[in-house]
Structure 1
């Protein structure tokens, strides 16, 4: 038992959590200290208000997706440094993204999600014996359940196969539901993890408020949005649409980029009316040239000069480096803050549109796409899109998802779920330092590898092929 405690303690005590190994014991024993009264329900409110512990998400999916194309030799040379190994290895779909005995042998994405799960399990486990009203405790438990569900939805879409007919036997991720640090990290199957996500969100919904002061705090629209996203990735389009409707019934405001002349007037993430639950990537994109994200040619081709997402959130290469070419993603520099990867009003609209397209409701699907585009494309150039068939509408919806959510993690998840659909199937190639890499539709590299460091510490974790 002692050996297992040590292994899991190491899993959570990482530099990227602001803690070094020497502080592991204090962290895993996680007790309220100082002036706070032990077992007081207010303590858990403070814990859930710790934004950095619950808002920070993942990064690797953006680097693996076809949104990115790092084609300039000078940038590729810069990314050869050890400090960028995870960036290069993910971009080229390597079997091992975090090689052992290197400066980046541990997976920040994995560790952040399990640290969040550990925190939420602590809150869920301790709340029943805390002082406070039943309603107070129910609300806090609901918030913790939403954060836990989001973490598992993130993990299952990065380290396991896409949901399919074989999900009951496909390896998922370790499913930890209590605060103990003595559990084995055996991988639950994909179906079991998805059912836990749904259970957490459905348990949470009745006890969540309609609104919260900040977008970092879960609300009913947050839970509905995550349920809609979950069912979409389970290919359950009826329930994905139903929960998108539930979210939109409570929150449906769109920011009018089309009428915005100064992007600094764009609402901040914490109060942006479009965001149902704020989640951000691990490392924000910046103008720092080695890690700047060059847009792939097919992504650029989806935009035109009248699209304010293109005008506000992308820049020519010269803004990044005089030696670079093409177009670069620039959203965070434009807004001065990290990009949201959590559920949003536009996502709910496009999930609903996709579900309608899949059931032959072509006109309704295109109406939703055009409602969004009216708020994104300059009025002087806006022309409603039309679809000649349900399949044509579906392609237009997916293209709109790509424009709206570029470099916000959803593209990689979409690539995974759509890779076997003849409408979207393709083989991706990219060349890095003279070597060509290929990602075929049937490639096992659509499932990212679990870091060897984690498997070494926890040999019960079966690695991905």
Structure 2
């Protein structure tokens, strides 16, 4: 089907089916869909399954996870379909050993990008709809595509460094819906520049409010910009755009009530995205590190609600506690932007600007919703550096096993406040992750390298 790209195309149930190089508007539709009409693209964007899914490798590599039970390690070793988990957990290359194995993170994001490119290219020439309707559809596609590229560049490229971003290998920058084009890797700076430009273009035409959190509005574009600037180390801009997002959406889920809504109803979700894979069941349950559990503490409602005893959930031979959020509503982990993320981005910006007091006020506003009143104690900071540390610790409590901790490890690995070496042991062999290690960048799957010789592998 794809001679060069070898990425996932879209399959939309009974609405659309992409085959070969056919355009969606050339495909016969059912029901009220009319080929060549703008309404086709609204239905396409409303099909959240084609845009909502994201990666899961970051959750395996991050320090939140500590797979130490020999029963679990052996179970993963004995499952051909789970070997990627072992390799990612121990920071090995390749992650996918078989040249026929496809990387679901890579496929998922480039599948989203392909769908977005179809919309961006075809909507201007589609019949029906006002110019404003078309501009909004294109803006939504730009926002989804930007989010996909931001995640891709933070899995398969080096962390953003202003001094080297112009020469550091990024990921293939595909902005047209053609199925045959070489996978030449753009630089990290080129990827970030495209994300920045597209989001600033998109926000002009996005609505202030949307019916569902999977449909991007202005707050979604601003929140992805805030995340992007944080990952670039541009803390002032990150805080500015986080504040803009919070001006439109600022509700915090009150965990003291104990009711966890479905993701579509979660009031603090700004841009709904989920991990492409669930890790709710053995052998690939996410056993939590003792360091994370100590940081949480047992009074924290995030500990009480989102972790569970490993032996009770996975059986004899499993110890410690596992990440259990996915067992609540049987939904995959949320990795999209949220009100708490914007609050903590703004707080880190304030702390790095030398305002530890206001930074801690934001942290404590969030924490009040994460403890029963009798268990809540406000956090204080002695100085700006102490505030930065406490903000990052709160990010870890809030987002454990939800992609952002790995992104934080990457962006902070050379920061003197956070620089450290990690070690893991797997069936008697010890693996080490130094701050300077190339393993902070995931290797590109051999499947894609075999079919696309122009695609450069990471060191």
Counterpart contact for 1:294–1:329, Cα < 8 Å? yes
* CA distance in 2: counterparts of 1:155 and 1:315, whole angstroms: 31
Counterpart contact for 2:276–2:332, Cα < 8 Å? no
Secondary structure of 1:192's aligned partner: helix
Secondary structure of 1:11's aligned partner: coil
Counterpart contact for 2:114–2:177, Cα < 8 Å? yes
Q: Which residue of 2 aligns with 1:201?
A: 199
1:217-232 counterparts in 2 under 5 A?
Answer: 217-232=215-230
Secondary structure of 1:436's aligned partner: strand
Secondary structure of 1:322's aligned partner: coil
Q: Which residue of 2 aligns with 1:362?
A: 356
Deviations 1:82-136 (A, max 9, x none): 110111110011110112346xx11010011001100000000000001221111
2:367 to 366, 373, 376: 373
Deviations 1:213-236 (A, max 9, x none): 111110111001000000001111
2:343 to 321, 331, 349: 349
Q: Which residue of 2 aligns with 1:59?
A: 56
* CA distance in 1: counterparts of 2:277 and 2:424, whole angstroms: 23
* CA distance in 2: counterparts of 1:380 and 1:45, whole angstroms: 48
C-alpha displacement of 1:181: 1.9
* CA distance in 2: counterparts of 1:269 and 1:24, whole angstroms: 28
Q: Which residue of 1 aligns with 2:134?
A: 137
* CA distance in 2: counterparts of 1:204 and 1:61, whole angstroms: 27
Q: Which residue of 2 aligns with 1:161?
A: 158
Q: Which residue of 1 aligns with 2:269?
A: 275
Q: Which residue of 2 aligns with 1:124?
A: 120
Q: Which residue of 2 aligns with 1:33?
A: 28
* CA distance in 2: counterparts of 1:38 and 1:127, whole angstroms: 12
Q: Which residue of 1 aligns with 2:380?
A: 386
The 1:388–1:451 alpha-carbon spacing in structure 2 relative to 1, beyond 3 Å, is: same
Report the more deviating stretch, 366-375 or 310-319.
Answer: 310-319
Q: Which residue of 1 aligns with 2:214?
A: 216
* CA distance in 1: counterparts of 2:241 and 2:294, whole angstroms: 32
1:410-449 counterparts in 2 under 5 A?
Answer: 410-449=404-443
1:39-54 counterparts in 2 under 5 A?
Answer: 39-54=36-51
* CA distance in 1: counterparts of 2:413 and 2:181, whole angstroms: 35
User: CA RMSD for the aligned pairs?
Assistant: 1.6
Secondary structure of 1:7's aligned partner: coil
Q: Is there any run of 5+ residues in structure 2 with no aligned partner, and where?
A: none
Counterpart contact for 1:57–1:112, Cα < 8 Å? yes
1:72 to 62, 69, 72: 69
Deviations 1:180-235 (A, max 9, x none): 22321100000000010011111110111111111111011100100000000111
C-alpha displacement of 1:418: 0.2
Deviations 1:370-401 (A, max 9, x none): 00000001110111111011111111000000
Report the more deviating stretch, 42-51 or 93-102.
Answer: 93-102
Q: Which residue of 1 aligns with 2:307?
A: 314
Normalised to the residue count of structure 2, the TM-score between the two structures is 0.95
Counterpart contact for 1:280–1:341, Cα < 8 Å? yes
The 1:388–1:28 alpha-carbon spacing in structure 2 relative to 1, beyond 3 Å, is: farther
